[in-house]
Amino acid sequence: MFKMGALFLVGTLTGFINVLGGGGSFLTLPLLIFFGLPATVANGTNRIGILLQNISAIIKYISAGHFPVKFALLISIPVVIGSITGAKVAVMISDKSFTKYLAIFMFAITILTIFNPTKTIKIQNRYLYSILSFIIFFVIGLYGGFIQAGVGFLLLAGTTLLGYDLVKGNAVKVFIVFILTVAALPVFIISGKIDYIMGISLGLGNILGGIIGASFSINKGAKFIRNFVTVSIIFFSIILLFSK
């Protein structure tokens, strides 16, 4: 009962963080592992919360008129292809290997958040960079299907790269993560890599956090949350990297 309550509370916090900026899975994945799930099962279970969280956030963004539908649907194609590929790789490796990969990628995403490329990278001519855009979002989908954690930061960088502001970029990010999760989740279900009780407990909190996060994103922005997540990533990545 304690675990379910803790997952709901953490799910609310991370749903807020994920929608507003990204990186919340760097909190939920270590927690699920700490509660006894094998690393690859924790990876699959976490997707349930992500799915529910993004459904609630998408509805909020659409109702507020901050959702560029055409662009979101266009880039979802390479993301889906990459996501399915990444998920297949994720269910094939051992729990020990996944834990180490998770720690390494946590450090990598930390560096990304510190340098904050969403402020510095712009592409003016979208036509000339259409092929590059396909490659970028395929790679993001590949990473998202494999680990999921931190993919929000990559998507924000990608949408800003194509000229979208942070609010619309967040709306696109939420939609793409939803599509990415829908594409990857069946792979984990078929492979038996999901604990449904923990996943639903986490997901209920994620729904609440997603609604609050979308509202906050529309009104205020993500600077404070991004700094908070950066500190959290460093803390949990050190624990995972040196765990046996």
Q: How far apart are CA 17 and CA 217, in angstroms?
A: 10
Radius of gyration of the chain (CA): 16
Number of domains in the chain: 1
Q: How far apart are CA 91 and CA 213, in angstroms?
A: 30
- Domain extent, residue 29, equals 2-241
Alpha-carbon torsion, ordered 217, 14, 18, 58, to 10 deg: -70
pTM of the model: 0.74
3-state secondary structure of 87: helix
Show pLDDT as tens, one digit a residue, over the chain (244 residues).
Answer: 788 889 999 999 988 887 777 777 878 888 899 898 998 899 899 989 999 988 988 888 888 777 778 888 888 889 889 888 888 887 787 777 777 777 777 666 666 555 555 554 555 565 666 777 788 888 888 888 887 777 777 787 777 777 777 777 788 888 888 888 888 888 889 988 899 999 999 999 999 998 888 887 777 655 665 565 566 667 656 755 665 4
Angle at 226 between CA 183 and CA 8, to 5 degrees: 60
CB distance 21 to 151 below 8 Å: no
